[in-house]
Structure 1
Amino acid sequence: MALLENSATLSVAYGPIDEDHAAFIGLLNALASADNAAFPALFQQLYEHTEQHFAREDQWMAEFAYPGIADHKGEHQRVLGEFKQFKSRVDKGLIVFGRSFVKERLPQWLALHITTMDMALATHINNRPS
């Protein structure tokens, strides 16, 4: 069972962000069904993807003079900090903590983040003067 579906309601109408989100959702759903042997490597992939995605968004916010940059970057830092705590536990073999984060925290956080902060960023990018 998928934790999150990549649907039109999660589209921000800016291709590069939507593509990153689709990859995140794919990894999230793969983690939901991964066995304990595969889980740590997939969790590492999701962590690295998240770091890279946030770096790209941070770059776009600076490039396009996004007025909400401070709050948005702050949210990225907060989530990466939380992610690192769970990654540390997974790295120690405490898979159950990673599974809890994947199933109970990330889907809800991602859906809210996309429909609020990322939607506002994409709207700003899409409406900038040519």
Structure 2
Amino acid sequence: MSNLQSNEHHAHHTQRTTRHVEKLEWNDGLLLGHGPMDDEHREFVHVVMALRNSTVETALTALAAVEAHLIAHFDLEHEWMDKTAFPDVYSRCHRDQHDEVLASVFQVHQLAAIGQIGLGAVHRLAQSLMDWFPGHADYMDSSLSAWINGQTHGGQAVVLRRNLVHEDRIPGSESNYEVDAKAA
């Protein structure tokens, strides 16, 4: 893939991966079918919501928890990319998003620690993470999950998502289960 195509790919994902989220809650809709990744995402939701709900007294501790989680989480995903020979063009785009997120978290944490920004800025960071995550998981992490499953198990995971309501679901539908093989 040429540099131009790579830049277009990155711009495409950047456009598609951000939408406003009122409340980020763990649910089956976030499952990607790679257990360790799903566990990391569950923890991400937990630490980001703790940051979103932090007070003046708890904000720095919550920021430190988000920062520590993201460093470990992203390092783990990078390790998976390397171990499974995830295609470089997608790996670069994925890593670029991780770097941008970490840079924002580091900056807010540093400024909050020296009192140059307040709780409002910390909560705006949490909101930005809440808005970013579902799209990143849907587009970037789902392709990595599918790749890992293909490389390690020779196929795609089947993900059962319980009790999801979809706008296009027919009212009165008898089924509360959706089977989805999520892929990029």
Does TM, normalized by the shorter one, top 0.5?
yes
Count of aligned pairs:
128
Following the alignment from structure 1 to structure 2, what is the Cα–Cα distance between the partners of residues 71 and 80?
14
Per the alignment, residue 64 of structure 2 pairs with: 44
Query: Which residue, 1, 10, 20 being the options, matches 2:40?
Result: 20
Name which structure has the greater RCO, CA cutoff 8 Å, separation 6+.
1
- Distance in 2, matches of 1:39 and 1:111, equals 23
Counterpart position of 1:80: 102
**What SS does the aligned partner of 2:151 have?**
coil
**Which structure is higher in helix share?**
1
CA distance in 1, matches of 2:28, 2:53: 24
Matches within 5 A, 1:1-130: 3-67=23-87, 68-93=90-115, 94=117, 95-103=119-127, 105-128=128-151, 130=153
Could you tell me whether the CA contact under 8 Å between 1:27 and 1:46 is conserved in 2?
Answer: yes
Normalised by the length of structure 2, the TM-score is 0.66
Give the TM-score normalised by the residue count of structure 1: 0.91
1:88 and 1:96 mapped to 2: Cα distance?
15
User: Quick check: which one's strand share is greater?
Assistant: 2
Letter in 1 for 2:136: H
User: After the TM superposition, which parts of structure 1 deviate over 3 Å for at least 4 consecutive aligned residues?
Assistant: none
Greater mean alpha carbon deviation, residues 93-102 or residues 107-116: 93-102
Amino acid at match of 1:78: E
**Structure of greater Rg:** 2
Partner amino acid, structure 2, of 1:34: S
Gaps of 5+ in 1: none
Measure how far apart 1:3 and its partner are. Answer: 2.5
Q: Identity rate of aligned residues, in percent?
A: 25
- Matched residue SS, 1:77: helix
Backbone CA RMSD of aligned residues: 1.4
- CA shift at 1:86, angstroms? 1.3
Extract unaligned runs of 5+ from structure 2: 1-21, 154-184
**Which stretch has the larger CA shift, 117-126 or 64-73?**
64-73
SS at match of 1:5: coil
